[in-house]
A and B are shown apart, each in its own frame.
Chain A
Amino acid sequence: MSEPEQTIYVIDDDEAMRDSMTWLLEGEGYRVACFDSGEHFLATRHDRMRGCLVLDVRMPEMSGLELHEKLDALGSPLPIIFVTGHGDVPMAVGALQRGACDFIEKPFHNEDLLVRIRRALELDAQLAERRQRDSAISHRLDLLTQRENEVMQLVVAGKLNKQIADELNISMKTVEAHRARVMEKMGVRTLAELVKAVMTLH
């Protein structure tokens, strides 16, 4: 299953804005998808979407802020760049405080927009990578037996084999055997790697 390509989702009620934005961003070599309202975007949205949102704050029906809240509720990881008109600055600040990614005020210089888009896409990439890693680790964790999991928790907590054996009331040999299997199953070679993997997940 191949990773989906990063796309810039432009959501604006003004057609000229959507079109000109598409023209500008495609000229930069980005993939662009346009939606004329928040509702339409929500209708086609799915969890595997990658990229970022360029979201107009002032829109009839559902405003940019409302869409932001809804996406938050749905757990969407996509970074959002708000585009505001005059006087919407305090609104955008509020949005930023709630965890939005960035905002830009109209009329904007195209370079400013592009910088922000690049930053957003980078963030998206990082997030995607982390998600992927996390899901791999958690997948491996699922492979561990109950006892192996217990042993691993104690190992990560920094306990010595002997202590683990005492605690779980098993022999040192058994601990060592479990430990070896944990390392194998988690696909790590050193204790440090194991700790890192487990810490990342949590």
Chain B
Amino acid sequence: MVANAEPAKNQTMFIRPPPRQPKHTRLWLAPYIAIGIFALAMLVVTALLQWREQDTARSALEGDMHWAERTIESRLQSHQDFLSELARDQEFRQLTYESFQVRAGRYVLDHPEISAIVWVDIDGKVEWVSPHEATATFVGEQLTGTRLESLQEALRIRRPLFSPGYPNAGQQLGNDLIFPVQQSRSDIGAFIALQSLETMLRVTLPGSFTARYSLSVVDAQNREVLRNSSIQPTDRRISGTISLDLPNNRLGLNIVAYRAGGAWLPYLPAILIVVLTLIASATLVQLRRHAQHRADTEEQLRTAYAFRQAMSQSMITGLRAIDLEGRITFVNAAFCRMTGFDESELEGIKPPYPYWPPEEFDKLQHNIDTALAGKAPASGFEMRIMRKNGERFDVRLYFSPLIDTDGQQIGWMASMNDITEPKRARVELERAHERFVTVIDGLDTAVHVAAVDSGEILFANRAFQHIFGFDTVGRDSALVTAACRPPPEALFHDPASLGPDELPCEIFDGEIQHALSGHWYHVHERAIRWVDGRTVRVQIAADITDKKHIDDVNQQQQKRLEQTSRLITMGEMASSLAHELNQPLSAIANYCAGCIKRMQSGNYQFDDLLAAMQKASEQAERAGKIIRRMRDMVKKSDPNRQPVPLAELVDETRAFADIEAQRTGTLIEVAIPENLPNIVVDRIMIEQVLLNLIKNGIEAMHNNAFDRRKLFISARRIDERLVEVAIADQGHGLADEDIEKIFAPFYTTKPEGMGIGLAICRSIIEFHQGRLWVEPRREGGTVFRFTVPIEEEDE
């Protein structure tokens, strides 16, 4: 798998974590138990050893004690014996002062514990002192206190006595061994050996003894009277008491062994053991803690590794690590999937990589060189690479340095995204947007979107901008479209009060005229939810000026057709009359011309002429019949005269005329008195006349400025029979010669006129026993006036 050793080294960063160890449940207790047992055993052994040592020491103590007892007792005994020798000699008066001095002096010299031997009388007065240079006493000294009491006691019981301790001249504890002497049953005095217990103990017991034991002397009341001064600690367990059987006094000697090697020495092993155990335990705990920590870390590592592994495998982003020379050290599954190469086919490969398409070599080599030099752009490289099957696709490659745990850069990590689809999608999106914009801008319908709350224009297409200006986006819709905006009261709903669940909602649909341009717009407005969630008004305004004009014209033509059908019927009637009359008239003319010709030439026969004249007569009769038929027809359509208010007729007529008036921007002003009586007319005929005159008036003002396009309709009663109606325009007026001619049939001043209208109007008015005439208006223009009869008032 790995080509050589070096990549293997680099791969250490991707080695697997240690395998999961089995959970050692109670095993970790074993070392603690072992340590515990060991410590316990050691303590027991130590204790045993100590106990044995103590035992040995006690045995030694006992031996020493007995030895000391004997030694002390024998010493004391020898003192007693010496004193008894002296006493015997005194008793028998054989002892002289000099011998006493010699013997006692010698004895004292041999026994350092005895400071002096004195002879006292029964009253306690010192008579002899040996050695005479002794400092403890002097001749003539009177014994006092304890010493005197002890003397008296000894004299009384006549037995040697060991006095209680007293402080002697050397301020040491002194004891007197008193030996009374009687002569023939009477007391003569006593020999007293002044001795110091302390000195005695020191002299009798060897140094090795006192070095090993602490000694103390207690009296019968167990009061300590003497103690050898040593501050060494003692071991009370190794101790004993010697009872010193002194004459007439009991003293005890307490012996306590000094503790060997100091007070703490016996505990040293135990302490050591405990300390070592504790250290071992602590170490173990520490070790275990470390192991636990390590296990935890390993667990985390494993989790992190698994997580990272899953991440890198599940990721759709291809990952590729290269070392500093560009050798691939790692690729993830996505990278393999993208390129179609196996991990084994890529790892260890140096550039050029197998997925480089040959035609892109130079560019890709340049890219990798840039990346290895650390100059890869943050936005990555966009490049085209090749799958194993040769298919090319677009990717974007991002580089980031790969740092090992020592902070040393060991390579580069590159993440690769397949941008073919995003790129395609982006291009598609751009195209879709372009199409959208093209379509929206291609519309000649103005579309804009404005926020309901702020009125801000969020979107406007080109048509809108053409009408309202090119910098409208972002401005307030209410201001921009003020000239062409449905008034708030015309809206079906207030867009600001619509809830989100009511959207989308139609709020306006109608036609509005642009106040400035005069164009008509079909405005459709809806409230919808905008892409950012706001409620907005979408307004679609289609310019319907032309359509409206066409509609108006169509409608107007339709109305005119309906309204003037009767007119046309009359016109056709006239035309048909003309044609019908043509035939007989032409025939008559022919017959007559033929007769004239024949009679002129003289070449005729009477019968022929007669026949021709008869035929001509017949044709004349035929013509007469035609006329009669026409008259019959007119009679048949005898007007249906009824009383009707003039204002109503004018209103109805205006309904038709308004179309034309609005188209041309003509204002029609009507002034009809309210108290005007009803007129008795055929309403359709009079409407016809009105319509005709209004239209003529409008057409007459065709070339006027907009502010001079006004038509006035007025009426007044002129007498008890007639009402006069006037239709005045501000048009070009009529030439004098036209004034009478305009009522002639087939006369017209209009380019496309038939010349029938006014003729028929005059006929209709005359038919109603009225009159139609025209006169110039003083202010310019023309006034047509006609009269019609009014309803006869009931008497």
Contacts and interface: CB of A to CB of B under 8 A. Distances in A.
A16 B582 contact: no
A24 B594 CA distance: 4
B399 interface: no
Given A23-B594, A24-B590, A24-B597, A107 B585 contact: yes
Interface in A9-25: 14, 16-17, 19-21, 23-25
A20 B585 contact: no
B578 A20 contact: no
A26 B604 CA distance: 11
A17 B578 CA distance: 16
Contact of B590 (A58, A86, A110): A110
A153 B277 CA distance: 155
B583 to A, nearest CB: 5
A61 interface: no
Nearest to A15: B587
A23 B612 contact: yes
Contacts of A60: none
B345 to A, nearest CB: 91
Interface residues of B, number: 24
B615 A19 contact: yes
A109 B593 CA distance: 9
B587 A16 contact: yes
A75 interface: no
A85 interface: yes
Contacts of B584: 16
A16 B626 CA distance: 15
B515 interface: no
B578 A108 contact: no
A28 interface: yes
Interface string B704-734: 0000000000000000000000000000000
B193 to A, nearest CB: 198
Interface string B593-604: 111011000000
Contact of A24 (B578, B585, B593, B618): B593
Which of B575, B582, B618, B619 gathers most chain A CB within 10 Å? B582
B587 A85 contact: no
Nearest to A13: B583
A85 B582 contact: yes
A166 B587 CA distance: 71
Chain A, interface residues (CB within 8 Å), range? 20 to 34
B631 to A, nearest CB: 20
A106 B612 contact: no
Nearest to A109: B589
Given A21-B590, A23-B590, A23-B591, A16 B583 contact: yes
Interface string B33-60: 0000000000000000000000000000
B756 to A, nearest CB: 13
B594 A20 contact: yes
Given A19-B587, A20-B616, 7 more contacts: A16-B619, A20-B591, A20-B615, A23-B594, A27-B593, A107-B582, A108-B586
14 contacts: A16-B587, A20-B591, A20-B616, A23-B591, A24-B590, A24-B591, A24-B593, A24-B594, A26-B594, A28-B597, A86-B578, A86-B579, A87-B575, A106-B583
Interface of B: 575, 578-579, 582-591, 593-595, 597-598, 612, 615-616, 618-619, 622
- A-B pairs with lowest CB-CB distance, top 3: A20-B590, A110-B593, A20-B587
